Amino acid sequence: MSLDREQLREHCETILWSRRIKNNIVVLCEGDVQSFAGRRSPQSYRRMEQRPDASFYRACIPKWWVNFQQPQFFNCGNRNSVLNSYFKLLELHREDSSKSYLNPEKLFAIADLDIQSQPTPNYDGFLDTEAIYSHLYREGQVNERNAANHKIWVTGLIHKEAYFIIPELKPIFEESEQAPIYQDSPVLLEKIYRDMAQSICEDKDLESRFKVVSQRIDYCLGLDCDSASKLQESWKNQFDTAEEQQCINLIMALLTVRKAKPYWEQIEPSRKWNHSHKVFREQLSLKIAEFYSQQERDAKYHLSVFFKTLFKAR
């Protein structure tokens, strides 16, 4: 879902011509943009915030932000297109600011960390997304001092979908009247974590990038990061005996290196659900976004710090 050169220019021009971005924060994210091809306009792009991923991030806007002008979110396709859109918007604005409502100081982007890194050669000395991650996060937490200097963010967990299955969200899955299903049984997050760990050695992308990716979690006590097989066994052994806080640390480490999207996509609605699986996941993701929106300003969740950083730039 990458935009070619012509599509990228049209996409960015449409954003620049959108009056709603005037004096406002603009956030670029991953998500469908191809369905707008052939009918790109500021008017049609207003509907973009109703589509994932923009709809999720918009729903995460903290409750304490409600009385202030809110960020505007734009889907840009895949991770590569998000980054290309960021740089193209700045380029077009510099070429002719009279055709732009953008304030470059209020332009941000957020994209998945993933296994493979994505080059960012024009971004403040950071050569790729892995370098941005290493500067933004320390031992699994946002380095808030460094965060203030970043306009391009990568998720602290491997995918946006990893934020959908953190331990604190257990009540959403297990206390719902229509409990979601995972592999023919009601969702138990612990089973998902164990399944993710059990198949670490099957992830060829992780294996090929293991030396780099394992550095993200080498702070986690008890994990053997010498190889994928040793990580798999040490994680399972630690998880079986760890106390609550260490279990959480292990889960967050796992969600930093293990692809979460395939497991999220295995979560299905109960048999009582009368709509499509796509609608189910969209609605479930918005419930999850509600959790993040309720966090206080001092919350340490990655997304909470991201929005606090945006708020300071408004």
Residue 240: its pLDDT value, please? 94
Residue 36: its pLDDT value, please? 81
Residue 294: its pLDDT value, please? 97
Residue 38: its pLDDT value, please? 73
**Which stretches of 12-105 are assigned E, i.e. beta strand?**
26-29, 72-75
54, containing H or E segment = helix 54-59
Backbone angles phi, psi at 300, to 5 degrees: -100, 5
pLDDT tens per residue across span 103-146: 999 999 999 999 999 999 889 889 999 999 999 999 999 999 99
Model pTM above 0.85: yes
The mean per-residue pLDDT over the stretch 150-176 comes to 94
When the pLDDT of each residue in the chain is averaged and rounded to a whole number, the result is 95
The 10 Å Cβ neighbour count of residue 185 is: 9
Banded model confidence at residue 7, pLDDT cuts 50, 70, 90: very high
Burial 119-148 (b: 16+ CB within 10 A, else e): ebeebeebebbbbbbbbbbeebebeeeebe
Residue 114: its pLDDT value, please? 98
Q: Check pLDDT > 70 for residue 1.
A: no
The 10 Å Cβ neighbour count of residue 99 is: 12
pLDDT tens per residue across span 169-197: 999 998 776 789 999 999 999 999 999 99
**Which region among 173-182, 233-242, 271-280, 305-314 has the lowest average model confidence (pLDDT)?**
173-182
Q: Check pLDDT > 70 for residue 20.
A: yes
CA–CA separation, 227 and 25 (whole Å): 42
The mean per-residue pLDDT over the stretch 244-249 comes to 95
Strand order across the 181-182 sheet: 185-186, 181-182, 267-268
User: What percent of the chain shows pLDDT beyond 70?
Assistant: 99
Domain boundaries, the chain: 5-161+293-312, 166-271
